[in-house]
Amino acid sequence: MMLTAYLDGIGLIGPGLDSWLAARPILAGAAPYEARPIAVPAPQSLPPAERRRTGLAIKVALAVAQEAVATGKLDARQLAAVFASSGADNDNCDAICKALASEDRHISPTRFHNSVHNAPAGYWGIASGAMTPATVLCALDGSFGAGLLEALTQVAVEGWGTLLVTYDMPYPEPMHAKCPLPAAFGIALALSPKRSAQSLARIEVSLADAAPDVLAEPEIETLRRAIPSGRGLPLLQAVARGAGGRVVLDYLAPLRLAVVIEPCR
Amino acid sequence: MNSLWLSHFTAASCLGHGLEATLAALRAQKGGLAPCAFETVNDLATHIGEVAGLDQSPLPASLAEYECRNNRLAMLGLRQDGFSAAVGAAAARHGRRRVGVLLGTSTSGILQTEQAYRRLDPASGALPDDFNYRTTHNTYSVADFVRSAFNLEGPAVVVSTACSSSAKVFAAAARMIAAGLIDAAIVGGVDSLCLTTLYGFNSLELLAPEPCRPYDADRNGISIGEAAAFILLQRPADSLDADAVLLLGAGESSDAHHMSSPHPEGLGAHMAMAATLKAAGLQPADIDYINLHGTATPSNDAAEGRAVATLFGDQVPCSSTKGATGHTLGAAGGLEAIISALALRHGFLPGGVNTRRVDPGIPIQYLTANREGAPRRVLSNSFGFGGTNCSLVLGRAG
């Protein structure tokens, strides 16, 4: 079976990459990259009570998910969702571990339910109203590849439209020293089994051995290397350039993913 | 979906190590929950389902970097019931790149980090040098560990959707096999006791003081357990014994309702059960037993019971085995798939333990005693925080 899908929408957020629409000319090489701290909008689609409880990882995940759905002019309630991240709400994890190492081990209910790896998927369900299947994956540095494979099998085997949402956020110290993620980052891809007027490209994914592609801009390449969800950037660079071709993405070394991209417009 | 064969499986929980001990406990309706005296936890009045012997079972030297309770529990599971030999044979037959590893966990080795935070350097605040995030705490650790233990090179992933994690791996593995990416998959889950879940569920006021009582009118919360559950999933052999167990369907849905409470009408649960019946090409009347999610919280059992009653009426015998095993969270879907497989293979319906008076407000046929029978198809439910639902249908080959 060919693992193919139509890429209908993209979401992106990272340092100096404010959104897919803003970053597209930068990734295409038509505008300069300027590094600056990430700015993440609060998830307006959540009710205020839930919005107050969201940390950075959830905000990043929801921001890119929303951009992918919006750029693809899609109905989120019709899309299955695959979330993939090397960690979770890492500030929250640090706060829980600190409390559990202290005299008073009390942790709040919100801290606890935000500690699950699938918290962003839960908030996405509340925000979007989607009762479709949602899964949440981790393969540490291979998390983008693991998410892409799961999303492609959903599209190809089940015939679902699937929203892939990959995201990471840094740990505070002392965990940062053990897991030095430099910044929050997220990529979302809205994938469909059928071509539509919104389709940006047809992609075909297979397992591969070749060395992963790198980014033309050295500072963006640094993000690709340092952040698991950034491992998907070569795919976005190819789509931004609009020329099509084949890129290789990191997965579980030495296993990699080859993606053949055919632009739809 | 195309049926897949559970060619080998094994479980370790508070019921015992391996299938024989698990079956004997179920046959005797003997639970494994005991008052909580885990690690330094002496201030929680609750019962837990602890796996015996983990403190005395270090990992082999070649895998020492993965040393943590979760991976010790995984290693224990892999050593049981001929499972490792079966994986070795599958890798030899299909190739090391053609055997996937898809496991569920919610806790991973977080206990390692909880303990390391007590040993911060007093001057710098740094974590101790011996603490390894990648191989212990990280959510992927257990799949990486299993992949390394068998020297596999194929796709691998951890599904972490709280308490549906190790049910959803069946659906993901079935898709990978259908797509031709792999020929066999190690699926299941490993979840281990830790302070985050004990104090976390305590903060939600969801810990029962006594051994949990699923579907009891006076149920008052969960008992946390731990387990390793491993299944080798592959395409069915040309000829199967009558008691071979097959995965016939998997169905997934989301509640889109609340982070820690189920949809009050059980709508997401209903959708997951309907989806798995559809995937299996079956009707509700084709199901002979339902292994309920049945956590014993008031809201879970009410919502799930409502969904089961809507779809199945009171015609299908049901029970939750969490009164015996505790709620093994990220391992629950895998453990309960194995319990369902034992019911199919050995011809009995496990009655739920600890339940004294079945909730009269939930109109389902809840079993409080074992029933002899010959179930041919069993449905197993797993629902998680964040409203992630998964139902599986398993059946006998003949």
A139/B140 CB distance under 8 A: yes
Q: Quick check: B294 pLDDT over 90? A: yes
| Residues from chain B contacting residue A113 (CB–CB below 8 Å) | 204, 259-260, 385-386
Task: Give the DSSP H or E segment for A145.
Answer: helix A143-153
Give A-chain residues touching B126 at CB under 8 angstroms: 173-174, 177
Would you state the pLDDT for residue B241?
97
Per-position b or e across A85-107, b if 16+ CB within 10 A of its CB: bbbbbbbbbbbbbebbbeeebeb
Q: How far apart are CA A252 and CA A243, in angstroms?
A: 27
> Longest C-alpha distance within chain B, in Å?
66
Please report where in the chains the tokens 């979007």 appear, as a residue: A128
Task: Please report residues of B whose CB lies closer than 8 A to that of A140.
Answer: 134, 138-140, 144
pLDDT digits (tens, 9 = 90+) for B326-355: 999 999 999 999 999 999 999 999 999 999
Residue A249: both structure tokens together? 């993405």
Instruction: For chain A, say whether B257 makes contact (Cβ under 8 Å).
Output: yes
Query: How much is the average pLDDT of A139-161?
Result: 98
- Report the pLDDT value the prediction gives residue A44, as an integer from 0 to 100: 84
* Paired residues of B163 in beta bridges: none
Helices B69-78 and B141-149: crossing angle, nearest 10°? 40
- Asked if the model's pLDDT at residue A265 lies above 80, the reply is no
How large is the ipTM? Answer: 0.97
How do the domains of chain B map onto residue ranges? 4-396
B32-46 per-position pLDDT tens digit: 999 999 999 999 999
pLDDT confidence bin for B258, thresholds 50/70/90: confident
Confidence band of A50 (pLDDT split at 50, 70, 90): confident
Confirm or reject contact between A122 and chain B (CB < 8 A): yes
What whole-number distance in Å separates Cα of residue A48 and Cα of residue A157?
38
The number of CA neighbours under 13 Å toward the Cβ of B272 is 34
Buried b (16+ CB within 10 A) or exposed e, A177-209: ebbebebbbbbbbbbbbeeeebbbbbbbbebbe
Q: What is the distance in angstroms between the Cα of B388 and the nearest Cα belonging to chain A?
A: 7
Query: For all residues of chain A together, what is the average pLDDT?
Result: 96
Give the side-chain half-sphere CA count within 13 A for B378.
30
pLDDT (tens digit, 9 = 90+) per residue, B114-150?
A: 999 999 999 999 999 999 999 999 999 999 999 999 9
Q: 0.90 exceeded by the pTM?
A: yes
Question: What pLDDT does residue B195 have?
Answer: 98
**Cβ within 8 Å, pair A135-B195:** no
Residue A214 has pLDDT above 90, yes or no: yes
pLDDT of residue A42: 86
Element (H, E) at A120: helix A119-128
Whether the pLDDT of residue B261 is over 90: the answer is no
State the average pLDDT for chain B.
Answer: 97
In B325-358, which positions are buried (b, 16+ CB within 10 angstroms) versus exposed (e)? bbbbbbbbbbbbbbbbbbbbbbebbbbbbbbeeb
Mean pLDDT of B212-228: 98
Q: For the residues B381-395, what does the mean pLDDT come to?
A: 95
How does DSSP assign B1-69, residue by residue?
---EEEEEEEEEETTEESHHHHHHHHHTT----EE---TT--S---EEEPPTTGGG-PPPGGGGGG-SH
A93, A140, A156 ranked by CB distance to B179: nearest: A156
Write the CA distances from B187 to A46, A48, B154, B234, B245, integer angstroms. Answer: 34, 39, 13, 10, 15
How far apart (Å, rounded) are the C-alpha atoms in residues B240 and B313? Answer: 33
A179, HSE (Cβ side, Cα atoms, 13 Å):
25
Q: What is the mean pLDDT of residues A64-70?
A: 98
The whole-number pLDDT of residue A49 equals: 84
pLDDT of residue A48 exceeding 90:
no
B47 is catalytic: no
Q: Is residue B190 predicted with pLDDT exceeding 80?
A: yes
Q: Name the residue type at position B356.
A: R
Proportion of chain B above pLDDT 70, given as a percent: 100
Instruction: Taking residues A105-130, report their average pLDDT.
Output: 93
Instruction: Say how many CA atoms lie within 13 Å of B45 toward its Cβ.
Output: 4
User: Domain A3-198 falls in which CATH fold?
Assistant: Peroxisomal Thiolase; Chain A, domain 1 (3.40.47)
**Distance between CA atoms of residues B363 and B293, nearest Å:** 16
List residues bridging with A247 in a β-sheet.
Answer: A259
Rounded to a whole number of angstroms, the distance between the first and last alpha carbons of chain A is 25
Amino acid identity of residue A3, one-letter, is: L
* Torsional sign, CA B348, B216, B274, A75: negative
Cα four-point dihedral sign B339, B341, B346, B348: positive
What would be the CATH architecture of the domain defined by B4-396? Answer: 3-Layer(aba) Sandwich (3.40)
Whether A99 and A180 have beta carbons less than 8 Å apart is answered as no
- Contact assessment for residue A166 and residue A229, using Cβ atoms and an 8 Å cutoff: yes
Contact call for residues A212 and A250 (beta carbons, < 8 A): yes
Q: Active-site residue B327, yes or no?
A: yes
Q: In the prediction, which pLDDT does B259 show?
A: 82
Closest CA to B218 of B370, B36, B360: B360
| B194 within 8 A of B240, measured Cβ to Cβ | no
* pLDDT the model gives residue B150: 98
The answer to whether residue B293 is catalytic is yes
**Are B231 and B9 a contacting pair, CB within 8 Å?**
yes
Query: What is the model's pLDDT at position A41?
Result: 87
* CA closest to A98 among chain B residues: B117
Q: Which residues contact B270 (CB under 8 A, 6 or more apart)?
A: B307, B310, B311
Determine contact, residues B226/B328, Cβ cutoff 8 Å.
yes
What is the rounded average pLDDT of the residues B89-109?
Answer: 98
Cβ separation A88–B139 shorter than 8 A: yes
Residues of chain A with C-beta less than 8 angstroms from the C-beta of B107: none
Q: For residue A52, what pLDDT band results from cuts at 50, 70 and 90?
A: confident
Rounded CA-CA distance B398/B395 in Å is 9
| Contact between residue B32 and residue B324 where contact means Cβ atoms under 8 Å apart | yes
pLDDT digits (tens, 9 = 90+) for B238-257: 999 999 999 999 999 999 98
